Amino acid sequence: MLAGAPGLNAEKFYELVLDNIDDPYPTYRQFRDADGLHRIMRPGTGREPEWLVMRYDAAATVLTGRGFGRRAAVPGSLPAAGAATIVGREHPVLSTLVENWLVFMDPPRHTMVRSIVSDCLAKRVRAGFREKTEKIVRDLVARISAQLSIEFVSEFATVVPMLVNLETLGVPRADWRWMCERTTALQEGSSFRPGNRKNRLATAEDAALTLDEYFRAALSERRRIPREDLMSDLLAAEWGDCPVDDDLLVGTCVHILAAGNETMRNALSKIVLLLLRNKEILNILLIEPALAPDVIDELVRLDPPAQMVTRWAYRDERIAGHDVSRGDKITIVLGSANRDPARFCEPDTLRLDRPRRQHGGFGMGIHYCLGSALARVETEVSLDAMLTLLPELRVASDPVCYGKDLIFHGPQELRLVRT
């Protein structure tokens, strides 16, 4: 039990969140009010002990501090041969894939890879990213606007980011459903989803194998005949002293595809749901559509599409009155930190007068979301295209069913009907 919080058991935190996954914020509030950090020992679960970070200042300390990193291995280096990996050596393709995801790297490798990928993404933005996104969204809105009923998650929120990411990478649009299935299966490897992880890792390994084969073949084609796409940009980049091979290039392509799709799907779904439940905000946007960036930014704070991130302590640290030891796992609950009343006035209220980008919805520090600028464009374009349609729609049934995922948070299905 936690001191000062009768009946509050940190070992039950994830269970409580999953039981209230459509609205985990009251659970977060209970733990945040009790303390900024909580220790979970997890005896008999097969998972390592960890710290939960619930408050904003402590979250900022961990996410921006040099004493914390993304790897349980030796900081600043790749794991030695035979060392434990993120998902385990028994899943070799999945392991190699995620070892080469930028989000799991530390400096100096992270610094070098991030700089190059950032430059390549910036080139795609200059090559008409907004215009291409507008075309994709317009075509999709034209298709669904004639329907009496729309399943928004599968018919819009999943399709837009996938088509945009495929366009950016240079993958044929015809492959989008296959890519959706593979990237969804890949996320089954997450340790933050319920169910038998051994089976989920097997599913993720199969998906990793097919995606690895696909992108190795695509990269080989672009070595012969370069195109105007991100894969060609990555191949043509000046990598300098940064070791680059197909493992890194494939991992980067899959990471952009998988992470960007799931977070954007949730963000788009939750924005529409929020506006349909808050007609006052919708009416303000209809009158002043230029306020859309403020609404989007505030939603990312209020109800972020990614709820948690993990770090490991690389040295002994004292955080919010607690002694954290070198090697300890730390889970930062962004959904809680973003509603910390010590940081935000009226934290549970959507307010359009807050300063932008002063929250942790896109992360903090060196791992601040690399695709945040692209995500803002996608969201703004999608919201602009949907605005005239939303007054004619209502949510078909409440409560809305949310996916059982502790990190990627959003509706599993969102049925909308015409009023």
**For the segment 319-351, what is each residue's pLDDT rounded down to a tens digit?**
999 999 998 999 999 999 999 999 999 999 988
pLDDT score recorded for residue 5: 47
Q: What is the mean pLDDT of residues 382-395?
A: 91
CA distances for 389 relative to 270, 273, 326, 373, angstroms? 16, 13, 53, 25
Share of the chain above pLDDT 90, in %: 58
Asked if pLDDT for residue 71 goes beyond 90, the answer is: no
Nearest to 401 by CA among 301, 269, 306: 269
**For the segment 103-151, what is each residue's pLDDT rounded down to a tens digit?**
888 888 888 999 999 999 999 988 889 999 999 999 999 999 888 999 9
pLDDT score recorded for residue 82: 34
Q: What mean pLDDT is reported for the chain?
A: 87
**Rounded distance, CA 187 to CA 156, Å?**
20
Asked if pLDDT for residue 195 goes beyond 50, the answer is: yes
Q: What angle do CA 327, 50, 335 make, to 5 degrees?
A: 120
CA distances for 117 relative to 92, 113, 205, 213, angstroms? 25, 6, 25, 21
CB-CB contact of 385 with 143 (8 Å):
no
Q: What is the mean pLDDT of residues 230-239?
A: 94
**For the segment 72-90, what is each residue's pLDDT rounded down to a tens digit?**
554 444 333 333 456 667 8
pLDDT score recorded for residue 76: 44
Asked if pLDDT for residue 357 goes beyond 90, the answer is: no
Ranked by mean pLDDT, which of 103-117, 156-170, 191-205 comes out on top?
156-170
Asked if pLDDT for residue 166 goes beyond 50, the answer is: yes
Asked if pLDDT for residue 197 goes beyond 50, the answer is: yes
pLDDT score recorded for residue 191: 65
- Provide the pairing of β-strand 415-418 with 149-151: antiparallel
**Rounded distance, CA 292 to CA 339, Å?**
21
Nearest to 195 by CA among 361, 23, 406, 44: 406
Confidence of residue 3 (pLDDT cuts 50, 70, 90): very low
pLDDT score recorded for residue 90: 81
pLDDT score recorded for residue 2: 45
Q: What is the mean pLDDT of residues 365-377?
A: 78
Any residues with CB less than 8 A from the CB of 253 and at least 6 apart, and which?
Answer: 169, 215, 218, 219, 230, 231, 234
**For the segment 20-40, what is each residue's pLDDT rounded down to a tens digit?**
999 999 999 999 999 999 999
The pTM of the full predicted model, rounded to 2 decimals, is: 0.89
Q: What is the mean pLDDT of residues 278-290?
A: 91
pLDDT score recorded for residue 80: 36
**Rounded distance, CA 362 to CA 370, Å?**
9
Asked if pLDDT for residue 165 goes beyond 70, the answer is: yes
Angle formed by the axes of helices 246-277 and 372-386, nearest 10°: 40
